[in-house]
Amino acid sequence: MKSKLMTSMFSATASAAFPRVPQIVSLRVVAETRQVVAVMAGGDIVVITIDEEDSPSEVEGTFETGISAAAWSPDDSLLAIVTGERKLILMTSSFDVLSEGSLRPVEFGEDAPINVGWGSKQTQFHGSLGKIAAQAPKSVKVGSSPDDDNAPRISWRGDGTYFVVSSLSDQDEHGLKQRTLRVYDRNGSLQSTSEPVPGLEHTLSWRPSGNLIVGTQRFGGFEGSGAGKEGRHDIVFFERNGLRHGEFALTPDSFLQKDGSTSTVDLRWGYRVRDLSWNSDSNILAVWAETTLGDIVQLWTIGNYHWYLKHEILAPSPSDNVGRFTSLQWHPEVPSHIILTTSSEIIQRHYELETFISPSLPPNDTGLVAVLDGSQILLTPFRTQNVPPPMSSFQLPINLAAPTNPSKYKTKTPIHVSFTQANDGLAMLWEDGYIQLWVLHTRKGPGFGKVMNPEMIWEGAVPVARGSQWRQITAHAPDSTDDSWTIGALGNLLSADVDTAIFLTIKERKHNHTETITLPSKNCRIVDSVWPPLYQTPEGRVIRHDHEGTPTENVGQFPEFCAHMQVASAQLKGSDEKRSLFVGLGKSGKLYVSSGPDSWSILASNTNSFTVASGFVIFATTAHESKYAPVEEIASLLAAGNEGPLKDVPDKWVVRKLERGSRIVVAVPSTMSLVLQMPRGNLETVNPRPLVMQVAKQDLDAGEYRKAFMACRKHRIDFNELVDHDQEAFLRGIPHFVEQIPEVDYLNLFLTMIGRGPQSAETVTKICDALRVELESRDLKRYINTILTAHVVKSPPDYESALAELHRLRETDSTVVEEAVKYVIFLVDAEKLFDIALGMYDFSLVLMIAQHAQKDPREYLPFLRELRSLDKYYQRFRIDDHLKRYESALKNLSLAGPERFEEAFKYIERYSLYEPALKIWRGTDKYNDVLDLYGDWLYERRELPQSAAAFIEAKKPEKAMVAYEKNLQWQELFDLALEIGSKKEDLETMAYRVAEDLSSKKRYLEAGRVLLDYGQDIKEAVSYLCQGNDFSEARRVSNFYKHPELVEGVVRPMSLESRAQISDDLGEMKEQLRKQRERIRELRIKKVEEPDAFYGTEDVTLQNIDVMTDVSMAPTAFTRYTIAPSTASRVSKRSSRSKRKAERKVSSGRKGTVDEEEYILKSLTKLAARFASSRDDARRLLPHLFRFSDEYRQEGLELQQEVAQFETELKEALEEIWAKPLVEDEDGPLPDSWAARMAEAEKNRQINPIDRVPKPDTLRNDKWRIDLYEI
């Protein structure tokens, strides 16, 4: 961007001591005092107030000897000045002198190194000349460069802690002046002095990051120069201690392009470096050179310890004169913004880091990346090679000496390059409109010879007036229907207020047609590698052009200008509609996606680079992660109307960790690779799972099973993915799968991973059977190992079928059986195979397995001989028993004959084979014996109902009655006793036993019924009914059986006992309610006043301190409730025992713990249920107390009042305790810090215990009183 601006700030006359034209040494806007301070060479310090209109200039002070150099500290608090009398003065912003000293002190400084002599020349062996020769001083001439302007220089470090002064010394004995660097601190104290450097020049700049001081050095051709070839010119670096720290060579050829211009400047080498300047983030070094043909500024960057010449800026030349810059300055806040001035213009330019990558599509994608480096372009195709920078696969030299050049070309470094999507084309653009078009002919596969064979097919210039500036190029390669190339250049015509895009059509290597497009504004960009072309305006609008004229169709919109933008094509799910997605990365680090003029969303807010490949938007974040967003999923979200940040979606996307500071360079879909660059500059190629799976899925859809299989095998992708993609299609394609992958080892590997994978047993069986059938139909002998694998990996494994295959193969082709047996022994444990073969009752197969498993014959031959001597079924029984197949053994034992029944009977008891035995002997005369045995076993296991049923089925009623009585099933017991005709005395005895057992279980009503019906003991029955609080039934029975004396003697006394028990229970409940109600109040006050102490939370603000390292260590999380480290993932993997322990911890409710409140709430719930039971007892007792007498009536009235009083108190307490707290609305700004957001999330996760424990609802029934007696 270039703008013309001239501002007259003030005028001044020369000092009397300097009767010359006034010259400004330093001009600075001091923001704190709102003043412009001009330091004049004549010695005046002039101040102008900004806020006052027409404010006159004021001279704050004057140095009579003049000022040679001046520089402000970065924070505008200090001003360093070198006076004409060679003094260094340090002043404050109010122009008070802080320190004053000589410009050329003789001492080294406070950081002088300490030398104890170790390793010095005096301690070394020096041959026949001896130490005297070594100690003799050597005369080394150190002088300054002829290009030196003899003026001192001052440069501050970025943090303002130190500054460096470069000055010339007086002439030495050789008549030479030496330039020396001296470093001072903020107090003006000398810290260090540089070592002597021959040929050191006047240029000086301290890198803002503070690690390097930069200058220039000349070699050869003059006295006192550096030892080197004449014409060599280096950028040299110094450390703060004054020692040298590396260098790189300038390229004089770029300064010396001849175009016939004339110049009045006479320079010895044709150019000289006037100044050096770092940008604010220390990544770009600007070198300002004055040449005989005009001024030029070079921009250098570093990567992997190599300096790259990225761009050259020529000074605009008025008419036929050479152009000169008057100043060079970087923006203090925008790192890539440079400001240049000439005598009539102010030029402002903004640069963006751009990676030139080839957009070629599969299968012709090369992953080609171009790097600009002065007069050559470094090219590397990452499809076949990963060459670490600064090396490259190919160096394309730039030759501008073509005789057909129609205009003047002064720089060799192009301003922009672009690749074509097809035909491997590369277009280069220079700022003055010169263009070259190359076809690279890149090799796409491994091999010997050249990586590429470039061929230039056209060069020429944009046919516009001289003075236009061009900054971006794009190119379109010919397709099958057209053999013409199209080149588009974007720039700004002379004195135009809008950008212009010019498209040149190249046919048969000749310029054929020109089309001019006028864009709506300045500073637009062409979206690279898109055809027809798309443009982005500075406001973020994406516009399309389809015909000559002004493009007006808006197709996309970003909320800010995105210097990095790509286009992706997506097909919406469930439809054939295709949509273009525009993905852009803004300066803010936000990654946007847009699908229309009014539709955009934010994919991420911390992105440093991205690319679009293989159906994914791949982006790297400042959190050192790479994310893979499916393009189709993004399109569907945008189609559904999701705008703004996509908050919930990123959790579904694949995320991979990266090295700190990694950036994406290029993705190569054909090789499923992603190239990353580390901060230092070195490269790393990774194969992300999403890219591998995308290519594998495409291969599966195309029926290329081998390619998909080999990709998964190479990149360690589970082969289950091949099945999961489309299971039905895979099963149909089994014949093609086997045809393309005939290797037995590969098929075995595939089946093994399928068997161990997450597939269901049914799916595994289906795949194994389908593959096995296909292999058996092709060649059983060749694929026997794979067929065995198919049997073994099933779930459950079909070992017997595998051994049957071996048996069948032995009968047809015994030559391969030995290797097959060895293989199946490799898959399955030999002992297991031996047992399986034995379980097949095939002794020949058993012997074959044993022999190939190298078992000791002494271990199995005696056992096999013993088995051979037995009868068939008893032999099988012994085998099944040996193999612990007890049910099968019992079946064979039952077939061995009736004489084996006693042995079978004992075998059933030994292994509890009762149910199989019932099935085996059902319908035989031994069935009842087995049932009797089964019933005894159930009785011992306390399964009494089942035991009684078995005894009844076995015709054993006496045993059934014992089981019924033991289980207190008194209805079934007495029914069976009456059915078999038991005696009356036995029934009465049985009735007393059963009633006593029932009363011990508090089943009083049933005990009373048993004594009444079967014991004929009315008094005892009435007593049991009263104990069960059923006074109505007790009185009915007494009167029904003509025993009214029982009412007076039993019912009335026991009613008073029941009334006293209810009263005692109410007293206990009242005390419990009072204590727990008070404790709940205390806890809730503490929760509000001291939430951290109540919940046991840590101070989350401590987590905002970033001191964590990147060492890969398992995370730990200590809390005040743990005594061992734990992580979040362990919670989901706790055993059931630890879960029960945690539940018991909550239920214990230990005082002072965070679970105490929940425990009390649960206790109150139980209290309400207990009161409901007591109230029900009172309801049944009260009518009888009111009927007996006035004394009893009074007792009943008091009981009714006690119950009612406690009921009211309990209801009030429950309402108070279970009342929902009021939610306060917190006004004010949302928390913007990470710690505040985490604290808010933790607060939201603290669920109120009343939400976990429901309020008791057992007190709803209030119709228990007798209202009549309260009137």
CB 500 within 8 A of CB 521: no
Residue 604 CB neighbour total at 10 angstroms: 25
Tell me the per-residue pLDDT of 839-872, one tens digit each, with 9 for 90 and over: 888 888 888 888 877 777 787 888 888 888 888 8
519-523, 689-693, 794-798, 1215-1219 — most confident range = 689-693
Tokens of 673: 């690779």
pLDDT of residue 1235: 56
Per-residue pLDDT band for 1219 (boundaries 50, 70, 90) equals: confident
Mean pLDDT of 1192-1199: 85
Tokens of 391: 């090396």
Taking 70 as the threshold, does the pLDDT of residue 1136 lie above it? no
Element containing residue 325 per DSSP (H, E): none
Nearest CA-CA partner of 534 in 555, 516, 504, 562: 555
pLDDT of residue 260: 45
Per-residue pLDDT band for 138 (boundaries 50, 70, 90) equals: low
Buried b (16+ CB within 10 A) or exposed e, 580-589: bbbbbbbeee
pLDDT of residue 1270: 63
Per-residue pLDDT band for 493 (boundaries 50, 70, 90) equals: confident
What whole-number distance in Å separates Cα of residue 675 and Cα of residue 652? 23
Tell me the per-residue pLDDT of 84-122, one tens digit each, with 9 for 90 and over: 999 999 999 999 999 999 999 999 999 888 766 666 656
Taking 80 as the threshold, does the pLDDT of residue 821 lie above it? yes
What whole-number distance in Å separates Cα of residue 585 and Cα of residue 832? 62
Element containing residue 1192 per DSSP (H, E): helix 1190-1217
pLDDT of residue 114: 78
Tell me the per-residue pLDDT of 906-963, one tens digit each, with 9 for 90 and over: 999 999 999 999 999 988 888 888 999 999 999 999 999 999 999 998 889 899 999 9
Query: Percent of the chain having pLDDT more than 70?
Result: 85
Mean pLDDT of 336-355: 93
Taking 60 as the threshold, does the pLDDT of residue 407 lie above it? no
pLDDT of residue 1033: 86
pLDDT of residue 410: 64
Query: Which DSSP string do the residues of 625-673 spell out, in sequence order?
Result: EEEEEEHHHHHHHHHTT--EE--SGGGGSEEEE--TT-EEEEEEGGGTE
Taking 60 as the threshold, does the pLDDT of residue 731 lie above it? yes
Per-residue pLDDT band for 583 (boundaries 50, 70, 90) equals: very high
- Whole-number mean pLDDT of the chain? 84
Nearest CA-CA partner of 242 in 180, 159, 186: 180
Mean pLDDT of 1019-1033: 86
pLDDT of residue 395: 95
pLDDT of residue 125: 63
Taking 60 as the threshold, does the pLDDT of residue 264 lie above it? no
Helix axis angle for 799-812 and 817-827, nearest 10°, is 170
Comparison of pLDDT for 252 and 1256, the residue scoring more: 1256
Tell me the per-residue pLDDT of 495-505, one tens digit each, with 9 for 90 and over: 788 999 999 99
pLDDT of residue 2: 41
pTM across the whole model: 0.72
Taking 90 as the threshold, does the pLDDT of residue 667 lie above it? yes
Mean pLDDT of 969-982: 89
Per-residue pLDDT band for 1107 (boundaries 50, 70, 90) equals: very low
Q: What are the CA-CA distances from residue 1238 to residues 624, 722, 976, 1234 (Å)?
A: 21, 42, 71, 6
Per-residue pLDDT band for 133 (boundaries 50, 70, 90) equals: low
- Give the range among 99-113, 575-589, 701-715, 1138-1152 with minimum mean pLDDT: 1138-1152
Taking 60 as the threshold, does the pLDDT of residue 261 lie above it? no
Comparison of pLDDT for 16 and 369, the residue scoring more: 369
Q: What are the CA-CA distances from residue 654 to residues 189, 618, 633, 669 (Å)?
A: 57, 10, 13, 17
Nearest CA-CA partner of 937 in 961, 900, 963, 973: 963
CATH superfamily of 1-103: YVTN repeat-like/Quinoprotein amine dehydrogenase (2.130.10.10)
Taking 50 as the threshold, does the pLDDT of residue 129 lie above it? yes
